[in-house]
Amino acid sequence: MRENFKKLRLEAGMTQKELADKMGISVGAYRSIESGKRITVKIHELKKAAKALDCSIYALLDYNPDE
């Protein structure tokens, strides 16, 4: 999951702070997601991140529901 957050964030040209703000969390909490220290993300945070990055929650989680 953490690799996808970083990859999609960079593709969108956003900083960690910008995405953290859009998710409604601190930049420290966001850094914990990207570093793998925080392994759970609340569903409302995932929804906000997906909207900000213009992607699906599945893309953030690297999950393919068809598999």
CATH number of the domain bearing residue 53: 1.10.260.40
User: Is residue 30 a part of any domain in this protein?
Assistant: yes
Tell me the pLDDT of the chain (67 aa) as tens digits.
778 999 999 999 999 999 999 999 999 999 999 999 988 899 999 999 999 999 999 999 888 777 7
**What backbone phi and psi angles, to 5 degrees, belong to 51?**
-65, -45
Domain of 19, in residue numbers: 2-60
| Number of independent structural domains in the chain | 1
pTM: 0.88
Residue 65 covered by a domain: no
Read off φ and ψ for residue 21, nearest 5 degrees: -60, -40
Burial of 27 (0-12, 13-18, 19+ CB in 10 A): middle
